[in-house]
Structure 1
Amino acid sequence: MPRVSKPTDHAYDTIAAELRLRIESGELPAGAPMPSESQLCREFGKSRGTVRRALQLLEEAGLTQVGQGQVRRVRGDEPLPHAPYEKVAEALTAEIEAGTRRPGDKVPSAADLAATHGVAIGTAQRALKVLENRGLLTSGGVRGRLVAGSPDGSLELGQVGQVAAALAATIRDGKHPVGSRLPGERKIAETYGVARVTVQSALTQLAEQGLIERQSRGKGRLVLRQET
């Protein structure tokens, strides 16, 4: 009997991540129908099984839902949920940025993080890998993972202000002109190598300065004016 072929890689994670970015940026706004399986197969050059798994991940994350006529759409008004590993990564990042965990401090193991946050060990391991990729953690050999930087506190803090200033500069320089929308939180986080909680705080600062305002669900943040 011929074997049924199954996806052998994690291409579905890549597809799901790309579609999530489109949702967060407003390219796929609330209520919009998701691209069909056939369209996604053609776009990404992957099998229907891989595409279905990617769409299932989005539904499990609460980003999409199947409505009347079995049409899959972007969900409505509630804030976008974070993936479990993102929540763990952002909680750790917030502790580092607040100085609760100082450069050179040992970070809890994946098992300890899993128990603390009520997630799987694999989820905690993924969160730790994210922080390593951001340069916030480093390997301490037998000591495990450590907060990056030296004990004198040379790790950069004040990231919220730095991101807010950088975004204000893009508005001032015309990269994001008045009336345009800023990129989604996840895209900004990837651009500046920070956590989404950092981006959210930076965006709050810009909103308090009257530079941007948050639009309705799925429409992102609108640039109101340039700095004077």
Structure 2
Amino acid sequence: MPTPHYGQPRYRAIAEELRERIESGVIPPGALLPAESALTAEFDAARGTVRQAIAALREAGLVATEHGRGTYATPRRHVCGLDEGSETETQQRQVAADAELAALFAVEVGAALVEQQSLTRANGAVGTVVRTYRLLQTER
């Protein structure tokens, strides 16, 4: 972490840094945040402090946590820098892995994946389309 934030709890400083990464697109919608162990090393903080920071982001609606998947950035309804009328639509569906996705995920072609598509519109015109993929989590 570049500079300490005196007078502010450590978890809030960590949450603020992660919020900036999410809002700037360094961590795009649907992307997983680094693992807790990586964040504790990066910020030189205790695991509980990192968990408090993630909880603050979850409370603000910037991230969501799924058991077995991890914590990921959630799509925003309004995108900074665009007109007030801009919004993001998110759709999710199950797809079969093509050869390229199968190689990336180290699974067989045809394996079940979840595709999440976030489409941002400003004044009715499409601004961005972001597609993310993850393995389908099956219940055991």
* TM-score where L is the length of structure 1: 0.32
Structure having the higher strand fraction is 2
Query: Matches of 2:65 and 2:46 in 1, distance apart?
Result: 21
SS in 2 for 1:54: helix
Describe the shift of the 1:216–1:24 C-alpha distance in structure 2 as closer, same or farther (beyond 3 A).
Answer: farther
Q: Deviations over 1:80-124 (max 9, x none)?
A: 6xxxxxxxxxxxxxxxxxxxxxxxxxxxxxxxxxxxxxxxxxxxx
**Percent pairwise identity:** 39
Give the aligned CA root-mean-square deviation in angstroms: 2.8
Query: Matches of 1:20 and 1:56 in 2, distance apart?
Result: 12
* Residue aligning to 1:43: 42
Amino acid at match of 2:57: L
1:69 deviation in Å? 1.4
Q: How many equivalent pairs are there?
A: 85
Residue 13 of structure 2 corresponds to residue 19 of structure 1: no
Amino acid at match of 2:18: L
Describe the shift of the 1:41–1:30 C-alpha distance in structure 2 as closer, same or farther (beyond 3 A).
Answer: same
Amino acid at match of 2:63: T
Amino acid at match of 1:43: E
Structure having the higher helix fraction is 1
* Residue aligning to 2:98: none
The structure, 1 or 2, with the larger RCO (C-alpha pairs under 8 Å, 6+ apart) is: 1
Query: Matches of 2:53 and 2:29 in 1, distance apart?
Result: 19
Residue 32 of structure 2 corresponds to residue 33 of structure 1: yes
1:71 deviation in Å? 1.3
Q: How does 1:107-186 map to 2 (within 5 A)?
A: 185=80
SS in 2 for 1:28: coil
1:214 deviation in Å? 4.1
Residue 128 of structure 2 corresponds to residue 215 of structure 1: yes
Query: Matches of 2:82 and 2:75 in 1, distance apart?
Result: 20
* Residue aligning to 2:95: none
Paired residues of 2:63 and 2:71 also in contact (CA < 8 A): yes
* TM-score where L is the length of structure 2: 0.51
Could you list the runs of 5+ residues in structure 1 that have no partner in the other structure?
1-8, 81-184, 186-198, 218-228
